[in-house]
Structure 1
């Protein structure tokens, strides 16, 4: 009994130590699945177009009445910081409500947040089941339609993706977004 209890405690200690890491953002190692969708201008954007570039992804929709406006404002703030510091990175917002979020709706939505479309793409052009599968396989996140409303349930993380299309870190995109850490991590990938 003592050995079993000590084994459990030791296992938990190893887990906690491993989870603590270096105090940086949560480190991930997930390959983004190939995709080719359309952006707010009706132009094709594919994973192949992002090869060799660092990018930050999130999941939003234009009819969102809860978390999306705050997340999109935070993504806008990240874009401002990238410009101010002269750091190149793409921003990719995947719509989780593609049936309603056509390119015009996405462009109108991001314009309200002063988006600069030179490096920020809001993507659509797929069905709900396709984005649900893509989000699960690429980012290990889930989305679901809220059967009690017209809303879509989704996570509030920002995901940092490296030049090879690997998700390497995720951050809180809703509250206490760690802008300084995101900037530091983006710069580290570009060294």
Structure 2
């Protein structure tokens, strides 16, 4: 009987841990749980100055319209290049549906990613500045932005970074309100349409 009680207790504890880790069974992964929490608890985005790839400064986010963004570093040889291609496809998908949504690829390595690097990344991925631009914040704003948008950046041993990637949504009220897989075009379009 003790063995049965122990087994049932262990099973209940395991189920409770799974329930907690999957945000009540609504997400299969920790990233999925993060995305559910973001959607349910929008967070105000304070104004930030960004230097765009054309050298202009923009105060961001501009309220009154949804904004899509991703965090990158331009010298990334792998995931950022893939997500840049995905962002270009997303831009085309939204434009084909008549949605002109501001899109930003924001560098979290603004010291390395100077204006020539931003321009080169933009040219490589077909970002013309409208609706999609490549930008960098001031160095002292990076940590706060990464924390706000729940982006994890870990330096690797080769001068690069390991980091998570997603299409992040700022709603027209200037709140961080969504995170999506980079290829979830239909879901992102639905979210944008619901905000217009």
Tell me the TM-score normalized by structure 1.
0.81
In structure 1, C-alpha distance between the alignment counterparts of 2:124 and 2:17, rounded to whole Å: 49
Would you say 1:143 and 2:149 are equivalent positions? no
What's 1:59 paired with? 71
Contact 1:135 / 1:141 at 8 angstroms: preserved in 2?
Answer: yes
- Tell me how far 1:92 sits from its aligned partner: 1.1
Closer, same or farther in 2 for the Cα pair 1:90/1:10, shift >3 Å? same
Count the aligned residue pairs.
181
Contact 1:51 / 1:163 at 8 angstroms: preserved in 2?
Answer: yes
What's 1:179 paired with? 185
- Tell me how far 1:78 sits from its aligned partner: 0.7
Radius of gyration: which is bigger? 2
Contact 2:52 / 2:135 at 8 angstroms: preserved in 1?
Answer: yes
What's 2:172 paired with? 163
In structure 2, C-alpha distance between the alignment counterparts of 1:10 and 1:63, rounded to whole Å: 42
Q: How do 1:1-191 residues align onto structure 2 when only pairs under 5 Å count?
A: 9=15, 13=19, 16=22, 18-20=24-26, 26=36, 27-28=39-40, 29-48=42-61, 50-127=62-139, 130-136=141-147, 138-146=148-156, 148-173=157-182, 177-190=183-196
Unaligned ranges ≥5, structure 2: none
In structure 1, C-alpha distance between the alignment counterparts of 2:23 and 2:130, rounded to whole Å: 41
